[in-house]
Chains A and B, each alone.
Chain A
Amino acid sequence: GQQVMQIPQYQHVQEGEDFTTYCNSSTTLSNIQWYKQRPGGHPVFLIQLVKSGEVKKQKRLTFQFGEAKKNSSLHITATQTTDVGTYFCAGHLSGSARQLTFGSGTQLTVLP
């Protein structure tokens, strides 16, 4: 079936190191959204990308949407302990405008 996969599942980094999580879909996505979920919390919307090849930045976070609209990445520069949490990508598969399909998430641990 249609899936959105994320790698890695877990990532431990030393504070100050960079971090990247990758998201891949088996089919074309209408858009890609990224969420952050802190331990014990709920998903919090970070950003939405719509255009092929789009790149957006939020301070230390850089989001990319692939040219084929089937993959995306989130890169964090110089991680901080406040970046701890699970990062999810989520997309609307083509033809499924109402169903947001989430990836499996990448759990980030930042060691002080």
Chain B
Amino acid sequence: ETGVTQSPTHLIKTRGQQVTLRCSSQSGHNTVSWYQQALGQGPQFIFQYYREEENGRGNFPPRFSGLQFPNYSSELNVNALELDDSALYLCASRRQDGTDTQYFGPGTRLTVL
């Protein structure tokens, strides 16, 4: 087990709503990344936070936003949900900003109806 936890495990929302997903990083890790994994596909990088600042972003619109807190836990917020937002959302933490190993949490399965 990696020590990375996520909540909730499952969530059902309707189109147009807003959602907040939470991640608790592994102890000692100050960098967290969020990924979206659609069914049958590889994870897609959304963004990364390092010391409470977003310092990297993939090809996702601004309605995907995040926060990282002083204790290195983090949130992913998605506004104006669309049907295509249905996916497994994964967070991954690592010790420091860079290219070292990252450890994934179990994910949150979001269904948008």
Tell me the dominant secondary structure on chain A's binding face: strand
Contact B97 A98 (CB under 8 A): yes
CA distance A29 to B45 in the complex (A): 16
The answer to whether the Cβ of B61 comes within 8 Å of any Cβ in the partner chain is: no
CA distance A92 to B107 in the complex (A): 22
B42 touches A88 (CB 8 A): yes
Which of A31, A35, A104 interacts with B41 by CB under 8 Å? A104
**Given that A98-B56, A99-B56 are known contacts, is A45 also in contact with B42, CB under 8 Å in the complex?**
no
A57 to B44, CA, bound (A): 27
* Interface hits, A42-98 → B, CB 8 Å: 42-45, 48, 88, 90, 92, 96-98
Residue of B nearest to A50 (CB): B99
Chain B residues near A97 (CB, 8 Å)?
98-99
Which residue of the partner chain, among B45, B88, B103, B106, contacts A100 with CB atoms under 8 Å? B45
Interface residues on B, range: 20 to 34
Q: Which of B56, B98, B99, B101 counts the most chain A CB atoms within 10 A?
A: B99
Q: How far is the CA of A90 from the CA of B56 in the complex (A)?
A: 17
Contact pick for A43, options B43, B45, B56, B97, CB 8 Å = B43
B:1-56 near A, CB below 8 Å: 33, 35, 41-45, 48, 55-56
Cβ–Cβ contact B55 & A45, under 8 A: no
Q: Are A99's CB and B106's CB within 8 A? A: no
Kindly report which residue of chain A lies nearest to residue B41, judged by CB atoms: A104
Taking the closest CB of chain A, its distance from the CB of B59, in whole angstroms, is 8
Given contacts A42-B90, A43-B90, A97-B98, contact A102 B44 (CB under 8 A): yes
User: How close is B110's CB to chain A, nearest CB, in angstroms?
Assistant: 14
Contact B103 A45 (CB under 8 A): yes
Residues on the B chain within 8 Å of A99, using CB: 45, 48, 56, 58
Asked whether any CB of chain B lies closer than 8 Å to the CB of A101, the reply is yes
Distance of A19 Cα from B29 Cα, bound (Å): 34
Which residues of B approach A to under 8 Å, CB–CB?
33, 35, 41-45, 48, 55-56, 58, 88, 90, 97-107
